[in-house]
Every structure is written in C-alpha cells, then in structure tokens.
Amino acid sequence: MTIDPRLSADAPASPLPENGLFLADVWDGLGARRKSLPAKYFYDAAGSALFEKITVLPEYYPTRTELRILDERGPEIAARLPEGAALVEFGSGSTVKLRRLLRHLPGLSAYVPVDVSGEFLAEQARVLRADFPDLPVEPVAADFTQPFTLPPSLSGRPLAGFFPGSTIGNFEPAEAARLLDVFGRILGEGATLILGVDLVKDRDVLEAAYDDAAGVTAAFNLNLLHRINRELGGDIDPASFAHRALFNEAESRIEMHLVSRVAQTVRVAGRAFPFAEGESIHTENSCKYTIESFRALAARAGWSALDAWTDTDGLFSVHALRRAG
C-alpha cells in the first residue's frame, strides 16, 4: 500500500475514496510497465466478507495466533494503556480483537474504529454498540493513509492506538515507517500503540496461508477485478486471471499477484490495457519481520519498544510501543 504524501495528522478530514480516485488509481496501476493495484481496494463489502472467511481458514495462522496472544497476555497489554483512554483502531475490520481486549479494559472511555470499508464498519459499530451499550463507539470511515480527523468528542482524553492483524505488513517498510509516524502524530507524545506483526517463517507455511486449498484467498484477490467491473464498468473476465502467492525472501514479503492466463486486452472506463500471457498485476505485499527488525523500523518512526509478546511457536508477535517525546 502507498501513503498520500500530503498526509498529516492535523490536515482536514477527507472523504472516502470516490470512484474518481479509484478509477485514477486503477488507470495508473494497469497503465504502468509493471502492473499493480493498491491493496486497500480489496475491501469493499464483498472483500471484507471474504477477508473474514480467510481469518478462519486452517492455513491462515495469523488471526487465531494473535487472538491467542491477546487472550493470554490481555492483562499485561491492558496495563500499558492509560486509565480513561480512548482507543483508536486503525483498519478495525470485524473488531473481533478489540472484543477480546475489552474484558481487560473496564476504564476505556471510547472506541474509535477507523476503516476504509464503510458499510462493513457501520454494521460492526452497530453490533458493538448493542453488545456494549456503556462504551461510546465513534466509527470513522476513512482511508488512514489520507488526511482524516478524529471525532471532536475525544478532545482532552488520552489516546491509545490499536493496529492488529499485521496490516502494517501490507505497507513496504519505508511506507510503514511513515504511517507509524503519522499515527504517532495523531495519537500524540507519550501515547501507546499496540500492534500485531507477522513473523518470518518457512516458505511453505507462508505460501499456504496465502494460497489456501479452499480457494478463499484466490476469491479475495479476484474480487478486486469484480470490483473494477462493478464500480468502474470494466469488462475484465476474472476467470482469465489466476491467483498467485509467493514468498519473496529477499524482500521478506509474501506477494500476491493476478496472472493473465492468456494474451488479452481489458477495458476500464474506455481505456484499454493490453496483457501478455503470464503478465501479472501485483495486488498485495505482506511483509514479515523479526521482533528486532520490526523494532528497528518502529524506532525510525519515533516509537520505542515497551514489550513484545509471541506465541510459543514464534509465528506472530504483538508489540507495545511508546511514542517518544
């Protein structure tokens, strides 16, 4: 994923990407010499629902492993947050991880889920309010890589951040550091950020997690093409593209691609994009770290390490970071 260079914590709020921006990004991405599409566009209502299916696949270890860490280390994690904090979750999705932490956070004063998948976010906020009527839930439908503002009702409260799921891995390291710096400016000096980071491991385990036997990850990847057809009037035949996931060891990242099965030309809103047989669209990176390599990245972005918790197999990590003064 890439970050808007104009991004700043105190810039004015921006709306969710309109179709104009989506179209511009698709034209840019498909028009490039090496074709790519921004991973944030995976998440329309259909994409968010597919992601939820991914999280319970046997091959997809990150979600269940992070949930176990949150369950086992909940009291220690909660102890890192200030009393009366408002918790801002970046890329909140189903909010399942917040629910696990909530039992350890009786003093939380508000919860602010921020997500680009607007319909899904609204539904999650509705259900959360019904389940936790005493917790003020203030959803923000926004692309967190673009300028956005937090609800004014939070002013004066200590803020803490929550960024689980290893969504940070979907940004290349330089972009990830920039994003962490922006989160630091949003949350303020001395703030705590709790975030999940997937760890480097055997290629076979990684590649299976992103190319499951049931084909759910393939459907998630291909949904991007369906979305282009639905929202931008594209004429792409998704069946003419194959899902591919591979571990790029030199870059320490899983890459997802959509590979054209044939030589073809697709059209999106009147513009034609030729594909050679075997040519790919790079749709996602999912960077994998060690505890040390992630701490070094966080330090470059102005965050110091407080704690890091892992599972006994060393598959996944949860970090507590403090924003330096």
Residues that bind ligand AVI in the complex, under the rule CB under 6 A: 54, 62, 165-167, 169-170, 210, 217, 220, 284, 286
Neighbours of 163 (CB within 10 A): 24
Neighbours of 109 (CB within 10 A): 17
Q: Letter for the amino acid at 87? A: L
Tokens of 276: 């050679």
Residue 302 site contact among ligand AVI, ligand SAH, none (CB < 5 to 8 Å, cut-off depends on kind): none
Residue number with CB closer to ligand SAH (100 or 257) = 100
Q: What are the beta bridge partners of residue 198? A: 316
Residues 66 and 72 sit within 8 Å (Cβ to Cβ): no
Q: Which residue is nearest to ligand AVI (CB)?
A: 286
Q: What are the beta bridge partners of residue 272? A: 267
For residue 63, the minimal CB distance to ligand AVI (Å) is 9
Residue 286 site contact among ligand SAH, ligand AVI, none (CB < 5 to 8 Å, cut-off depends on kind): ligand AVI
Residue 210 site contact among ligand SAH, ligand AVI, none (CB < 5 to 8 Å, cut-off depends on kind): ligand AVI
Q: Is 169 in the site for ligand SAH (CB under 6 A)?
A: no
Residue number with CB closer to ligand AVI (181 or 211) = 211
Among 7, 23, 29, 43, binds ligand SAH (CB under 6 A): 43
d(C-alpha 306, C-alpha 321), whole Å:
5
d(C-alpha 281, C-alpha 258), whole Å:
5
For residue 93, the minimal CB distance to ligand SAH (Å) is 3
Half-sphere exposure of 260 (CA within 13 A, CB side): 18
Neighbours of 262 (CB within 10 A): 11
Neighbours of 132 (CB within 10 A): 15
Residue number with CB closer to ligand SAH (40 or 244) = 40
Q: Is 260 in the site for ligand SAH (CB under 6 A)?
A: no
Residue 284 site contact among ligand SAH, ligand AVI, none (CB < 5 to 8 Å, cut-off depends on kind): ligand AVI
Residue number with CB closer to ligand SAH (65 or 260) = 65
Neighbours of 206 (CB within 10 A): 22
Quick one: which segment of 141-149, 214-222, 253-261, 316-324 binds ligand SAH (CB under 6 A)?
141-149
d(C-alpha 49, C-alpha 163), whole Å:
19
Residues at the site binding ligand SAH, with contacts judged by CB under 6 A: 40, 43, 48, 51, 55, 63, 91-93, 97, 114-117, 143-145, 164-165, 167
